[in-house]
Amino acid sequence: MKTLRVENLIEGLCAIPEAAFTCDNVYRFLAENPVDVDSIAPYFHWSRRFYTRNLIFKNERFEMMVLCWDKGQASRIHNHADQMCWMTVPVGRLRGQNFAVREIDESRGFCRLKETDNFDLSECLAAKVELEEPIHQILNLPEFESRAVSLHIYSRPFDTCLAYCRETDTFKEVPLFYTSVGGKLCDNVEL
């Protein structure tokens, strides 16, 4: 299958008119235009302690980043602050696990979740986070036995999201950070 360099992928996303920048249209665009892995390799930064978030591009409409996952790493259970999200996995394999809210009391930061569907991603298959059920977790399961790289596009840049803890049935707003910007490690980042 033909791939696009990341610069051309960004140009293509920027060319989508505002009114057409919808969940299904961007999903289709990503599914039809897998990224060339060599073109995103300069953004690969790995840590054995945590998965890394590496910003490639950002404007007022969307941001694109590469996330690098070592074996066994997982995100927190989280949402995307009411923004649309699309992802592909050009390297390795990842599992997405969706959750539904069973019970919530926002005044106490209480939230009981239940697992719903899950899906595996690899070989540049595109996925989207549905706004109807936005709480999810991404995992590089130990049995996948390899590192993984995912490419994420968020419909509007955001710097906080809600993170959920199933052990305590709580949730809170957490800040988000980049590991690198434009391929260069951010200050105070220790891999």
Which positions make up the binding site?
78, 80, 136
Mode of pairing for the β-strands spanning 180-181 and 184-185: antiparallel
**Those residues with Cβ within 8 angstroms of residue 26's Cβ, 6 or more apart along the chain or in another chain:** 13, 16, 84, 86, 128, 153, 155
* End-to-end Cα spacing for the chain: 34
Summarize the annotated binding site for Fe cation as residue ranges.
78, 80, 136
Q: What secondary structure letter does DSSP report for 147?
A: -
CB-based burial label for 167 (10 Å; 0-12, 13-18, 19+): exposed
Find, among 20, 62, 61, the residue nearest to 151 by Cα.
Answer: 62
